[in-house]
Every structure is written in C-alpha cells, then in structure tokens.
Structure 1
C-alpha cells in the first residue's frame, strides 16, 4: 500500500458466509477488484457445510493480510457480524454477504460521499442491481415510475420517520460509520435479522445519505434472507415486532408515531395474509397502543 493510500480512512469489510460456496469466489474476487486501496478484510464463516470453508482458507492463504474466522457452530447473521466487527479497526464498515458482488468503484465512491456530507452521516447507501443465481440482470432496486420518480422513493438526511414508514434502503449497499455501530453496541444478537433494527436505532441520531448509482449486485436465490420473509411461519416476524416496539420507545412526535403505525399496519396485513396469527395479534395490540386502529384494522384484529 502506498503512503498516499495509508492516509485514506480504513474500510473494514466483514464478509459473512453461510453455505455460499457456489457464489463465494465471485464475491471474494469482487473484494480484490476494489479500486479503494486501504481495506481490511475479515472473512467470517458461520459453520458452512457445503465446502465454503475450503474456499475461504484458500483465499486467506493467498492473501495473508486477510483475517479468517471459522465459527464451530451456526450463530446467525447478527452475532457472526458482531464477532467480525469486534476484530475490525476500520473507520467505515461493510457488512458483506458473500452471495452478493461489490462493483469495483463502490468503496471509493462511498467514502467520498461520507467526506462530502459530513461527520453526522452514519451510513451511505446506494442503488443495487438485482441478479439471479446465474448472475443475470433482473432489475435495479430503484426504478422510475411513469412520472420519472424513483420507486421506492429514496431519502437522505435525518430519515427516522421514513425508515419507520416504509422500505427503501437496499441493505447490501450499506457502508456504515464505525462510530455509529459502536454507539449502538453493534447488531442486536437477539434478533433474527439486522437491517430494520439498524435503520431504526441509527437514524434516530445519525443521518443516512444516498449515493445515487449502482454499487452492488444483490443476488436473488431461494436461500437468501430476503426471500424468507412474509411466508407462513415467517422466521423474522417476531424480530420485526420487537424492532417496532423499540421504535415506539424512540418516537418523539405524532408524525413519527403515525409513520410507525403505517409500518405496523403493513406488517399486520402480511401476518394475517400468511396466517401468522400469534404475531398478528401482537401487531394489532401494538396498533392499539399507537391509537391508530381503523375499521379494516379492527376487522383484521377480529380475524386473528
């Protein structure tokens, strides 16, 4: 690394693998292709059983400055990330699932965005290209509607109410400020997934900013976390409810409570639709606490 590169902020990539063998080499090669020169790479395998560990060992041997952490048992995404995060030293942190792909200029562009928007920016996110299992283009995360407006509508700045109300951030594109994660104590290891909780807790006091370009390829396949939600016996719904309760404790204004009610109402409809009845009852109780029960909500409450 050159002397000039050493003066750039260190970026730590925590690369999380669980049975990603068929995608792993492409993901790791995308780290090697980064144009940003000051990188720390921590490979974390969450007890894979498909040959991933042999690939990770090979790359760690070829690149001795990479750290390798092979977990003896599956601990889940949140704890696996925290173990890597606590070994990292970077000013900025990337939670990189090794079924996805980083485009070469991603980190250079995102670090520049952090410098432009200032020290209260806790996270920079971007557009993503969604690809299938074979790496073929499916669509982009953000798509223009008939009026040319991007959907889902992106937001920048203090976006607490926005992240309560709706989904608009493509998780694999996030680069986080270390100080933000440290303030939160890392990911909540009691949850089944991390992004909604991070958005809620971090956006209360930190800004989020969009870099309006594609920086990442997000892979769609049946085992990806994004494909497991909103199905019968949804494994993530209980965590969503817990995060909504955290959000209620953080709300300061009527507008923020209204934004949370919009989220809870959406989750209630999904829970009823997929017959997750205990969770639907809990969401209905939360909507009552928000004093936001409408006629249709009341009927859904009766149904569950």
Structure 2
C-alpha cells in the first residue's frame, strides 16, 4: 500500500518544553510516512538547543531558524517548505493522538471530494491533564459525519465560534489550499488565520468530523487567545461578511444568526461600538 507523505508543520516560538512533547507525539504516529517541518521564530536559542539530539536521530525532521521574527510569515514559510501531499499544522503547545494521521487520511483515500478532516479536540491544561471542554471545543456530534463543507462552515459562522478546530486539529491536501495560510478572499487574517483557511477549503468540497479526540489542545496563560482577550473577536465581523459574499450563510436567517451571535459576544466591549452600528445597518437591509 502506498502511503502519501504527510507534512506536519510547526511554527515554533520560545516553547522548547511543550515543543518536545509535540514532536514526540508526531514521532509516535502509527502512520509511516511523515516529515516534520519546524520553522523557529524564537527570540533565543533554547528551541534550537533542545532539537540537537532530535536532528541527529531523525532525518525526517527539517529545522529552520529564522534570522528575525517573521510572525505570520513563519506560518507561510513552514507551508512552503513542506514536501507532503497532505498538511497538518501542529502548534508547539499542542499534542497529537498517536493515530491522528492514520485515521484522518483514510477519509481522503476512501471518499471523493474531501477537502478537510477534523475531529473533537480534548482540552488539556499546562501540565497536560484533561480539562472540561471550552464552549467552542464541545463535541459537535457523537458519530462520524461526512457533510457538505458549507454546512460545517455555517455552523461555525452562525455561532461565532471556531467549532472546526485550531490549526492542530485539521488535516488537508496541500493542493486544495491555494492561498497562503490565513488568507481569505485576498485578506490576511492573523487572529482567525485558521478559520480563514478552513473557509477556503470548505468552499471547495466536503468535510469530515470525527467525534474521537485525535488531538489535544493545551490551554495555558501564555497562549494568544488567553492574552488577547476580546481582541480575538476583532476579525469575526469582517470574515462573516466576506463569507456571506462567498456563498456561505446563504439564507438571511443564517446570516442574521451569525450577526446576532457576534453582537452577543461584543455587546459589553466598548471598542466594538463601530461594529455594532455596522451590524445594525446590515440587519435593516435583510
């Protein structure tokens, strides 16, 4: 049986301890043909030093240290350096289940027109202990579902929640994502770069949702969505409007649900007053 190459791409930044755990979870995969591409955006050499024994022992690991901080460009660099037919991002503080790639890739091989495979992701704390799910990470279904991509996207957009998953969660074909990661309809999203790419993929085909926990999403004080607070919502309105223009949220009821969900999220934050007025104007036209 032929096993197409899967590239696990890791944009690393100043987390050698959790990065080591993440790498080990890839090396333990039951799927036999994986390369690991690590692009290091760290402000020190701690990650590089931790990786020395790995680079000596595992030729499938490719490591690149950036001369300066690239931020979002580091995500693009990882992607461009990947040789695999399939791509799975892995955040340097998350973890794969050992059968993640093997179980997900089966759906691409057994069904037609699959552009995205995701799963339930188990939340863990800083120490790796299981913790209750966040609202966005609740299990969507109790059984595996293959659905139209727009259906899954509409669930996320209408709830103003990324129920599809963080970058670690999703496996996709490299050929299906033409735009750089996080670019949707010509705009680069930084806080919603994962959702932007999921919309690109979901506009082209079917999605698979697996209810089994095939990745582990670490919640800790230093991660972006914990330190940015309400700023994480600052791109939701733009991506919702863009998605409507792109054929998602195709009924007025779905579009209204998405706008009202956003309103409920930001109504107590004064910095979103202009967005609230913008939505009120949109609602008058529907």
Q: Please tell me the TM-score bracket, short chain as reference.
A: 0.7 to 0.9
**Alignment root-mean-square deviation, CA:** 2.7
Structure 1: 4+ residue segments shifted above 4 A:
none
The alignment status of 1:133 with 2:111, answered yes or no, reads: no
CA shift for structure 1 position 79? 2.3
Distance 1:254 1:43, change over 3 A: closer
Match of 2:147 in 1: 156
How far off its partner does 1:74 sit?
Answer: 2.5
How far did residue 19 of structure 1 move?
A: 1.9
Unpaired stretches in structure 2, ≥5 consecutive residues: none
Aligned to 1:300: none
TM-aligned CA deviation for residue 27 of structure 1: 0.9
Which residue of the partner structure matches residue 79 of structure 2? Answer: 85
C-alpha displacement of 1:283: 4.5
Q: Which SS does the other structure have where 1:264 is aligned?
A: helix
User: How far off is 1:253 after superposition?
Assistant: 6.9
C-alpha change, 1:230 and 1:283, in structure 2 (3 Å) is: farther
**Cα 1:175–1:253, aligned 2, differ >3 Å: closer, same or farther?**
closer
- Tell me the TM-score normalized by structure 1: 0.79
2:259 — aligned with what? Answer: 264
C-alpha distance in structure 1 between counterparts of 2:241 and 2:99, whole Å: 38
CA separation of 1:254 and 1:105: change in aligned 2, threshold 3 A = closer
Q: Secondary structure at the match of 2:188?
A: coil
Number of aligned residue pairs: give it: 273
- Structure scoring higher RCO (CA < 8 A, sep ≥ 6) equals 2
Which of residues 104, 107, 115 in structure 2 aligns to 1:113? 107
Measure, in 2, the Cα distance between the counterparts of 1:143 and 1:65.
33
Instruction: Tell me how far apart the structure 2 counterparts of residues 102 and 252 of structure 1 sit (CA, whole Å).
Output: 30
Q: Does 1:53 align with 2:48?
A: yes
Counterpart in the other structure of 2:200: 201
Counterpart position of 1:96: 90
Quickly say closer, same or farther: Cα 1:127–1:252, change in 2 above 3 A: closer
Distance 1:79 1:96 in 2: 16
TM-score relative to the length of structure 2: 0.84
CA pair 292-51 structure 1, distance change in 2 beyond 3 A: farther
Judge conservation of contact 1:14–1:42 (CA < 8 Å) in 2: yes
Distance 1:68 1:107 in 2: 21
8 A Cα contact 1:93 1:177, kept in partner = yes
Distance 1:8 1:131 in 2: 31
CA change 1:70–1:116 in 2 (3 A) is: same
- What is the distance in 1 between the residues matched to 2:111 and 2:188? 33
Partner of 1:192: 190
CA distance in structure 1 between the aligned counterparts of 2:285 and 2:48, rounded to whole angstroms: 49
For 1:38 and 1:287, locate their aligned partners in 2 and report how far apart those are by CA, in whole Å: 51
Structure 1 counterpart of 2:24: 29
